[in-house]
Structure 1
Amino acid sequence: MMNSASKQIDCSQRLKVLADETRLAVLKLLMNGPKHVREIKAVLGLEQSLLSHHLQVLRQAKFVIAQRDGKAVLYHLASEVEVTTGNALNLGCCVLLFN
């Protein structure tokens, strides 16, 4: 069982991951449904290596899940991240609202 202090640490660590604008942009894209890496790359205009780094950080923080789709990789939001009405993500510890 997780105590209140453990939850706060977990929340602060998750928010540190989201302090990066690129990672926020990836989550915002995935709010509309799963995307292949090439789709994310095309929208954000990032180099492959930089995008891979950000996706790895998001995977480790359990924000996204990678799924093999033939030769491509399909990314989608993890089940712990709930898309709410009003263009927001419920992270469990807080809600992020996107404009």
Structure 2
Amino acid sequence: MKKTSGMAQRQNSIIGTMAGTVNRTVEGIKCKACVLDARLRTMAAEPESGAATAEYAVVLVAATGFAAVLVALLKSDMAKKLLSDMISKAMKVI
């Protein structure tokens, strides 16, 4: 049997450590790729789950904002005068 020198043993040890690190990294990448694949498949099967709720929330916020602007406009003196003029003209026609 051939004896290996101390330098060769250290090199083999370093190479073994690096190989182990590479193997663990590859296994980690494979695991993460499987999880990502499962998530993508789930999203493809149910692409819009939760989207409808978010869309309704956005529409409700926009409608509330629009209603607030309308209320502010209708409370102004100019709008009150305009509405009262329209109503009096309509009453004259009848």
As a proportion of its length, which structure holds more strand?
1
Query: Rg bigger for which structure?
Result: 2
In which range does the TM-score fall when normalised by the shorter chain?
Answer: under 0.3
Q: Which has the higher contact order (CA 8 A, sep 6+)?
A: 1
